[in-house]
Amino acid sequence: MPPVDAGRPPVTAAAAARRVNRRGQATRDAMLDAAISSLASGDPASVSGNRIAKDIGATWGVIKYQFDDIDGLWAAVLHRTAEQRGDLPVSVKPEAPLGERVEAIIELMYEGLTAPESRAIETLRAALPRDPDELRRLFPKTAAEFASWGPSWTESCQRAFADLDVDPERVREVAAFLPGAMRGLVSEKQLGSFQDQVLARRGLARAIVALLAPARFG
């Protein structure tokens, strides 16, 4: 009697390795998503390798196998949130005028900063060393991931306005202050601010447009 898999093409070592790699990547991604969900709870105790392992139903040994150490885990979590966030400013419609682009970016950021990924980042940041030198010494991989976000964000903002007559230096200024400004608005919302949030976002958008718009002389 022929074997049950007779007639099937033989599985090559390369194909088997790809399947193993896909399974390994799927396992890794599932761990990262579970870690993000745990951190998004806002519980300071969630910033712990053993706590993450418990929450995702694994052992610290399994996590260490995937990420080497706690620094590798946090760096991978941050990288995963960046992948899920995507290239935010460039996702705005390229044909839109300046004002619409700015308003769209602000609304996207306002919504994004309440997402689980953003809450996870805030929880992690609050537990890590504040001093950049200490962070680089104790968590070099995590610090490197954080450091990569600044240039990437600035470049994304430059591309978002690249086809408009906008001063690149002013775009860099906006890229520098906008994340903090938006976190402030979101924090006010979460704390139960009595300020009109729609009015606040509209005012911020108009201020940015006034900064970026080309000067006109009569």
Tens digit of each residue's pLDDT (9 = 90 or more) over 150-189: 898 999 899 999 989 899 999 999 999 999 999 999 988 8
**What confidence score (pLDDT) does residue 13 get?**
44
8 lies in some domain: no
Domain boundary at 26, 43, 78, which? 78
Query: What are 8-61's pLDDT values in tens digits?
Result: 555 444 444 455 466 667 888 888 998 999 999 999 998 988 888 888 888 888
Angle at 88 between CA 86 and CA 93, to 5 degrees: 120
**Quick one: 98 and 189 in the same domain?**
yes
- Residue at which a domain ends, from 44, 78, 112: 78
Q: Is residue 166 one of the residues assigned to a domain?
A: yes
Residues 74 and 87 in one domain: no
- Containing domain of residue 61, as a range? 13-78
Under DSSP, the state recorded for 119 is H
Residues 40, 88 share a domain: no
Residues 77 and 56 sit within 8 Å (Cβ to Cβ) = no
Per the model's pLDDT, the better-predicted residue between 169 and 86 turns out to be: 169
pLDDT level of residue 84 (50, 70, 90 thresholds): confident
Give the CATH number, domain containing residue 60. 1.10.10
My answer on whether 165 and 87 are in the same domain is: yes
The CATH number of whichever domain residue 100 belongs to comes to 1.10.357
Last residue within a domain, chosen from 30, 55, 78: 78
- Identify whether 132 is part of a domain: yes
pLDDT score of 18: 54
pLDDT for position 11: 46
Angle, nearest 10°, between helix axes 116-127 and 70-85?
Answer: 150
- Residue 210: both structure tokens together: 């006034």
Report the alpha-carbon distance of residue 123 to residue 98 in Å, rounded: 34
| pLDDT at residue 122, as a whole number | 93
What region does 163 belong to: left with phi over 0, alpha with psi -120 to 50, or beta?
A: alpha
Residue 6 has pLDDT above 80, yes or no: no
Q: How many domains does the chain have?
A: 2
